[in-house]
Amino acid sequence: MIVDLPNTTTSAISKTLVKIREEGGAVALGRVLTLIITTNLGEEEEAIEAANEASREHPMRIIVVSTGPDDKKAEARVDAQIRVGGDAGAGEVVVVKAYGAAASDQESLVTGLLLPDAPVVAWWPGAAPAAVSQSPVGRIAHRRITDAAASSNPLKALATITESYRPGDTDFAWTRLTLWRAQLAAVLDQPPFEPVTGVEVHGTADSPSTVLLAAWLQQALQVPVTLGVSGKSHGSSGIQGVKLIRKSGAIELERTMANIATLVQPNQPTHDLSLPRRGLRDCLAEELRRLDPDDLFGEVIVNGVGKLGKPGRVKRAAKTKA
């Protein structure tokens, strides 16, 4: 069911939610959190679709705050839409579109719509404020999710996160590393149990995930990491491969085609492994599984990234995303 509320107020939206709950059943029961999505006008649907899918694992109220350019001459107006039932996954969706001066105070737009006594998670699927923890929505959130790869300058966005990080912040560039980290940890958990003496990580020049993977490996293994970058191939970007250097030979995990990585180890057969690029739904669902600060991400982003050496060029063509 979809209910449109043109030229409305937060109070009217809240009353309509109560009315829908009374007429259609206790919609809010079982909701475990409130997810606030902050996006630009016209860019809401992809994020809503991902949140709807994630809500099947984490029942929640989804509040989408959409604003446009800061136009002081535009008429101050708030339009809203409420989606429940089949149009809202396992949750309920409130889309709030603010224009003119009404868009200047996002906190007031959402405060009256939050689920009582439930954690608040904020997500910026596109460009994010310079310091998300100090933003109007970020101030009321327990966790704050950004996506550096979605910005116009991903590495600059990653640098901004390192400067402004506060416990509770996280980024999908880190979440996309989960499968890589798990696979590399599994390889090192097998004999021979030799120390790693060096690491090489390479990917495209605009990949924040490549930087974070290199920083994590340097922090975890306490060895020098060489970060290599290369150009794009067929418009793709991201992590391309990792080499772990040990006395008995190098372990190489190279993504050679879409969703498939090749694992090469000394004195063992070569294996092809499933290593797909994670979509918004998977990344969001993973981040919603924890509502406490991700201390490891904080350690890597604050201390690890700055210790990496300057990236060098490698003559490899990127084939897939990470």
CA distances in angstroms from 47 to 40, 52, 139, 182, listed in the order given: 11, 9, 21, 27
Mean pLDDT, all residues of the chain: 89
Cα torsion at 54, 55, 61, 64 (round to 10°)? 30
**54 or 24: whose pLDDT is higher?**
54
- Mean pLDDT calculated for residue range 98-108: 90
Given pLDDT bands bounded at 50, 70 and 90, which one contains residue 232?
low
Q: How far is Cα 318 from Cα 230, in angstroms, rounded to an integer?
A: 7
What does the pLDDT read at residue 163?
Answer: 96
CB 238 within 8 A of CB 318: yes
The region of weakest confidence among 6-15, 66-75, 119-128, 255-264 is 66-75
Given pLDDT bands bounded at 50, 70 and 90, which one contains residue 70?
low
Which helix (H) or strand (E) is 37 found in, with range?
Answer: strand 33-40
CB 37 within 8 A of CB 65: yes
Residue 317 has pLDDT above 80, yes or no: no
pTM for the whole structure:
0.91
CA distances in angstroms from 223 to 219, 226, 303, listed in the order given: 8, 10, 15
Q: Could you write out the DSSP letters of every residue in 253-295?
A: EEEEETTEEEEE-TTS--EEEE-PPP-HHHHHHHHTT--S--H
DSSP 194: P
Q: How far is Cα 314 from Cα 230, in angstroms, rounded to an integer?
A: 5
Given pLDDT bands bounded at 50, 70 and 90, which one contains residue 281?
very high
What does the pLDDT read at residue 320?
Answer: 40
Q: How far is Cα 121 from Cα 49, in angstroms, rounded to an integer?
A: 17
Q: Which residues of 143-152 are buried (b: 16+ CB within 10 A; e: fewer)?
A: bbbbbbbbbe
Map tokens 């050496």 to a residue.
309
**18 or 146: whose pLDDT is higher?**
146
What does the pLDDT read at residue 88?
Answer: 72
Given pLDDT bands bounded at 50, 70 and 90, which one contains residue 314?
low
Q: Where are the domains of the chain?
A: 2-170, 178-313
CB 62 within 8 A of CB 82: no
Given pLDDT bands bounded at 50, 70 and 90, which one contains residue 38?
very high
Q: Strand ranges (DSSP E) for 113-197?
A: 120-123, 143-146, 169-171
| Bridge partners for 276 per DSSP | none
- One-letter identity of residue 45: E
Q: What is the largest CA-CA distance in the chain?
A: 70
What does the pLDDT read at residue 313?
Answer: 66
What does the pLDDT read at residue 80?
Answer: 97
**314 or 251: whose pLDDT is higher?**
251
CA distances in angstroms from 181 to 169, 207, 275, listed in the order given: 20, 16, 11
Map residue 157 onto helix, strand or coil: helix
Given pLDDT bands bounded at 50, 70 and 90, which one contains residue 257?
confident
Residue 211 has pLDDT above 60, yes or no: yes
What does the pLDDT read at residue 311?
Answer: 76
Given pLDDT bands bounded at 50, 70 and 90, which one contains residue 231?
low
Map residue 83 onto helix, strand or coil: strand
Q: How far is Cα 175 from Cα 215, in angstroms, rounded to an integer?
A: 14
Map tokens 């990344």 to a residue.
283
> Which burial class, exposed, middle or buried, applies to 298 when counting CB atoms under 10 A from its CB (0-12, 13-18, 19+)?
middle
Map tokens 């206790």 to a residue.
26
Map residue 302 onto helix, strand or coil: helix
What does the pLDDT read at residue 319?
Answer: 40
